[in-house]
């Protein structure tokens, strides 16, 4: 029997703090923004969420990988990956899976690296196809276990998210900690890159459906369960790249449009055209629903402002209050930026949802147009399904004209 030798690994933050551990997944060195997520389950969905592009993800739940990883090739009735939140651009959903399989599978994991306390080596689940370690090796993503994730999370909560690097050594290789600390101090902020351009599709994809309502989905880093929720409500969905113009979108003669989640700073220069497109389409009275990044882009388009949160909201248990009904919803969230509540006063937007913990903006409505957005993820995956009704709200607006 082949015995594997533990590989040394280290996470180094840009202030010189470091955490040593044992490596798993790919043998390599990466860098990015170090963030944390407090969810207890759902690591395959989180790791394939495009909103994590450029980030090293710390999971605070102590045991990770205990139910393995499901089949990457499993597809639902719309031929969308059943268990992951990313697919690849070359794939047309109406083509047979056999054709899809002729293409080399690109990386589905969107995180840059993974930091955990303990990796389960012998997972057990009826739906498991591989271990977390095997999946990450296959996709070229490094991970480190044996880290005191509580101590790391406390540091990130006090300091705010930090830049850092993660290195997994070859078997028998030693760590040069002094050299890595110097390198960590020079890590570039991934939010300065065009992260949306890295994860958005390159060409339009049309998801035909039996319903008569047709919407254009602006993909700024879409989770696939958003598309699945729209298809389940009989929308025909035309998924377009983030930099499509309003003119190009209107050529499809859609009944409405949708802006998805995505990574990075919504005020990045690469998104100026997306914000302008949103403004033009709202002025055209095209009904809008936005989620997460979509909430920020919509707000910016209407004249509001955004800012970076200290350590973000990344969890499956964020309480959000509907100010119109007084009802509280438990929501899934993954964002590092938020809408400035004071800036809403200079717009035609009204505050709709607030976070019950820190009172940040969690949703807005346009007071004159049929347009709304939320900061949380009503499509869940992972997390509670409490807010999924918002997709029905959007469909009702499209069917009735908002009456």
Question: Parallel, antiparallel, or unpaired: how do β-strands 162-168 and 29-37 relate?
Answer: antiparallel
Asked if the model's pLDDT at residue 26 lies above 80, the reply is: yes
CA dist 96 and 216 (Å) reads 23
Cβ(112)–Cβ(56) below 8 Å: yes
Asked if the model's pLDDT at residue 148 lies above 80, the reply is: yes
- Percent of the chain at pLDDT above 70? 94
For 100-138, write each residue's pLDDT tens digit: 333 334 579 999 999 999 999 999 999 999 999 999 999
For 212-245, write each residue's pLDDT tens digit: 899 999 999 999 999 999 999 999 999 999 999 9
Cβ(313)–Cβ(355) below 8 Å: yes
Residues recognised as catalytic: 292, 377, 379
CA dist 345 and 6 (Å) reads 56
CA dist 151 and 115 (Å) reads 12
Asked if the model's pLDDT at residue 272 lies above 50, the reply is: yes
Asked if the model's pLDDT at residue 93 lies above 70, the reply is: no
Sorted by sequence, the CB contacts under 8 Å of residue 272 that are 6+ apart come out as none
Q: What are the φ/ψ torsions at residue 302 (nearest 5 degrees)?
A: -90, 5
Residues 6-32 as b or e (16 or more Cβ within 10 Å = b): ebbbbbbbbeebbbebbbbbbbebbbb
First to last CA, the chain: 69
Q: Please tell me the predicted confidence (pLDDT) of residue 95.
A: 40
> Inter-axis angle of helices 272-283 and 293-301, to 10 degrees?
70
Asked if the model's pLDDT at residue 91 lies above 60, the reply is: no
What mean pLDDT, rounded, does the chain reach?
A: 93
Instruction: Give pairs for 280-283: CB < 8 Å, separation 24+.
Output: 280/246, 281/246, 281/249, 281/250, 281/257, 282/366, 282/369, 282/371, 283/369
Asked if the model's pLDDT at residue 312 lies above 80, the reply is: yes
> Facing residues of 163 across strands?
33
Name the one residue in this structure whose structure tokens are 């035909």: 208
Q: Give the 3-state secondary structure of residue 403.
A: coil
| DSSP secondary structure of 81-140 | BSS-S---TT--TTS-HHHHTTSPP------SEEE-SEE-SS---TTEEE-HHHHHHHHT
Asked if the model's pLDDT at residue 3 lies above 60, the reply is: no
Helix ranges (H only) for 140-262 are 149-159, 177-184, 195-199, 224-232, 246-250
Name the one residue in this structure whose structure tokens are 């009826």: 126
Sorted by sequence, the CB contacts under 8 Å of residue 151 that are 6+ apart come out as 19
CA dist 391 and 387 (Å) reads 9
CA dist 318 and 345 (Å) reads 25
Q: Please tell me the predicted confidence (pLDDT) of residue 403.
A: 54
Higher pLDDT, 101 or 394: 394
Domains and CATH numbers, the chain: 7-191 (3.50.30.20), 195-400 (3.40.50.880)
CA dist 99 and 255 (Å) reads 31
The least confident of 33-42, 145-154, 206-215, 318-327 is 206-215
């Amino acid at each position: 029997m082949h015995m594997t030798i533990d590989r040394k690994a280290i996470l180094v933050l840009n202030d010189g703090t470091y955490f040593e551990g044992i490596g798993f997944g790919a043998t390599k060195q990466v860098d990015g923004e170090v963030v944390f997520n407090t969810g207890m389950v759902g690591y395959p969905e989180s790791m394939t969420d495009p909103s994590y592009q450029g980030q090293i993800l710390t999971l605070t739940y102590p045991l990770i990988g205990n139910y393995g990883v499901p089949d990457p090739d499993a597809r639902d009735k719309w031929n969308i990956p059943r268990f992951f939140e990313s697919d690849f651009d070359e794939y047309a959903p109406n083509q047979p899976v056999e054709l899809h399989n002729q293409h080399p599978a690109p990386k589905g994991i969107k995180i840059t690296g993974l930091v955990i306390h303990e990796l389960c080596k012998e997972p057990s689940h009826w739906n498991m196809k591989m271990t977390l370690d095997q999946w990450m090796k296959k996709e070229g993503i490094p991970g480190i276990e044996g880290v005191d994730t509580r101590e790391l999370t406390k540091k990130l909560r006090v300091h705010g998210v930090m830049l850092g690097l993660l290195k997994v050594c070859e078997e028998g290789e030693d760590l040069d900690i002094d050299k890595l600390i110097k390198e960590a101090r020079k890590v570039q902020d991934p939010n300065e890159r065009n992260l949306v351009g890295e994860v958005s599709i390159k060409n339009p994809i049309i998801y035909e459906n039996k319903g008569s309502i047709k919407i254009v989905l602006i993909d700024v880093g879409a989770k696939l369960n958003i598309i699945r929720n729209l298809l389940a409500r009989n929308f025909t969905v035309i998924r377009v790249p983030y930099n499509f113009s309003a003119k190009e979108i209107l050529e499809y003669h859609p009944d409405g449009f949708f802006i998805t989640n995505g990574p990075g700073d919504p005020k990045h220069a690469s998104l100026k055209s997306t914000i302008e497109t949103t403004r033009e389409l709202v002025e055209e009275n095209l009904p809008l629903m936005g989620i997460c990044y979509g909430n920020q882009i919509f707000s910016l388009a209407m004249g509001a402002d955004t800012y970076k949160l200290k350590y973000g909201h990344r969890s499956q248990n964020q309480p959000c209050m509907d100010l119109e009904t007084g009802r509280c919803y438990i929501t899934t969230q993954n964002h590092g930026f938020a809408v400035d509540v004071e800036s809403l006063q200079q717009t035609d937007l009204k505050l709709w949802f607030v976070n019950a913990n820190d009172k940040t903006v969690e949703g807005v409505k346009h007071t004159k147009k049929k347009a709304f957005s939320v900061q949380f993820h009503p499509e869940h995956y992972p997390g509670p399904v409490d807010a999924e009704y918002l997709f029905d709200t959007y469909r009702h607006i499209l069917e009735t004209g908002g009456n």
